[in-house]
């Protein structure tokens, strides 16, 4: 069944059907949903090659991942949400894997020159990030998951990293902790810089002197959490509470605490970021783990929404979103021992 036959079968014009299936914003939502439902019922699948010739689109978006920085549970969750959203408009995701920033920039050059993608998704912006300027010069649409240090004139979606860690640190101070360790993300990443600012400012406002030996940085993996916590516990004045940058980091912290013969919650309090992974449930841990919560999967869905609007011709260049982060308190967070 081709477009003409499908449009005739449901009693609508080819133009309306084509625009609805391509995600054009001027088509009413109820009309779009009706057409999608009928297409599924009648087994109609648009010819992507023909659609590409008619619209000048590739029918795909690109994302470039760097080894060591793009393969973790957070990325998996984000990609799941993004893929599910784009699949509703039959848009593919083209993933390129590179070793370093120079290869990443070269990949953008290739993608723009080959016209294999209609837009690019940038992730994990750094304080000295040049990728946004490069893509502007290449004149290829893009959206940033996160935000640049300048919060520039391009579409982006980010969570309130500053507010999340400021609130978590403040709570620990409120219940009596004065020595609070933090295992942050990699230095130079904008989100990690925002989290450190939240941590430092919460301490400063309570008159607590910042201790550099209680702040570490690194990838969000179990081993970093384990080794960082071991270092903390070896100090002459170890922390009574720790902020872990991710649930993966928190697993390492928990292992180190138990290896030292200490009890999580009683001897050392813990707050981790993210508790939205299906396979790492903070409610099922012993003890249950306090978290700052923000869904990476939902972020992927929302990035997909914005991309679809961009591809439909809507000007999203000034679009910016900052999502609040929820603090969820559980058994791993208690006042320090007297």
96-152: pLDDT as tens digits: 999 999 999 999 999 999 999 999 999 999 999 999 999 999 999 999 999 998 877
225-242, pLDDT tens digit by residue? 999 999 999 999 999 999
Top CATH class of 161-294 equals alpha beta
Give the model's pLDDT for residue 54: 45
Question: Partners of 217 in the beta sheet?
Answer: 184
Residue 193 has pLDDT above 90, yes or no: yes
Looking at every residue in the chain, the average pLDDT score rounds to 90
- How far is residue 303's CA from residue 156's CA, in Å, rounded to a whole number? 8
- How far is residue 291's CA from residue 303's CA, in Å, rounded to a whole number? 24
Surface-to-core class of residue 95, CB atoms within 10 Å of its CB (0-12 exposed, 13-18 middle, 19+ buried):
exposed
Give the max Cα distance, the chain.
79
Domain locations in the chain as residue ranges = 3-54, 57-157+296-323, 161-294
Give the model's pLDDT for residue 33: 80
Fold of 57-157+296-323: Rossmann fold (3.40.50)
Residue 53 has pLDDT above 50, yes or no: no
Rg of the chain's alpha carbons, rounded to an integer? Answer: 23
Phi, psi of 60 (to 5 degrees): -150, 155
Percent of the chain with pLDDT over 90: 67
Top CATH class of 3-54 equals mainly alpha
Percentage helix, strand, coil, to 5, in the chain?
45, 20, 35
What are the DSSP calls for 77-121, one per residue?
HHHHHHHHHHHTTT-EEEEEEESSHHHHHHHHHHHHHHT--SEEE
Q: What is the mean pLDDT of residues 153-178?
A: 97
Q: What is the pLDDT confidence band of residue 275, given thresholds at 50, 70 and 90?
A: low
Phi, psi of 144 (to 5 degrees): -110, 130
Q: What is the mean pLDDT of residues 174-187?
A: 97
* 3-54 and 57-157+296-323 have identical folds: no
């Amino acid at each position: 069944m081709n477009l003409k036959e499908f449009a005739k079968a449901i009693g609508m014009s080819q133009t309306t059907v084509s625009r609805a299936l391509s995600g054009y914003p001027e088509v009413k939502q109820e009309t779009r949903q009706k057409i999608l439902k009928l297409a599924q019922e009648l087994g109609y699948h648009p010819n992507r090659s023909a659609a590409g010739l008619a619209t000048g689109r590739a029918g795909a978006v690109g994302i470039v991942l760097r080894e060591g920085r793009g393969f973790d549970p957070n990325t998996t969750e984000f990609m799941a949400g993004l893929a599910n959203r784009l699949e509703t408009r039959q848009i593919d995701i083209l993933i390129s894997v590179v070793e370093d920033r120079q290869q990443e920039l070269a990949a953008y050059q290739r993608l723009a020159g080959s016209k294999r993608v209609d837009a690019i998704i940038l992730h994990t912006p750094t304080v000295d990030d040049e990728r946004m300027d490069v893509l502007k010069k290449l004149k290829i649409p893009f959206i940033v998951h996160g935000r640049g240090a300048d919060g520039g004139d391009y579409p982006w979606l980010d969570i309130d990293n500053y507010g999340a860690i400021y609130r978590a640190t403040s709570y620990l101070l409120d219940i009596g902790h004065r020595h609070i360790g933090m295992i942050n993300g990699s230095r130079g990443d904008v989100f990690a810089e925002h989290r450190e600012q939240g941590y430092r400012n919460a301490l400063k406002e309570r008159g607590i002197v910042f201790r550099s030996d209680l702040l570490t940085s690194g990838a969000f993996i179990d081993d970093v959490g384990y080794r960082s916590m071991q270092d903390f516990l070896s100090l002459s004045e170890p922390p009574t509470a720790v902020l872990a940058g991710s649930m993966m980091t928190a697993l390492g912290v928990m292992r180190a605490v138990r290896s030292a013969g200490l009890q999580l919650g009683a001897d050392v309090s813990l707050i981790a970021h993210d508790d939205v992974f299906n396979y790492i449930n903070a409610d099922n841990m012993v003890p249950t783990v306090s978290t700052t919560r923000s869904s990476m999967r939902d972020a992927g869905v929302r990035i997909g929404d914005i991309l679809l609007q961009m591809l439909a011709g809507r000007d999203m260049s000034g679009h910016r979103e900052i999502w609040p982060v929820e603090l969820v308190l559980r058994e791993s967070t208690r006042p320090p021992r007297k």
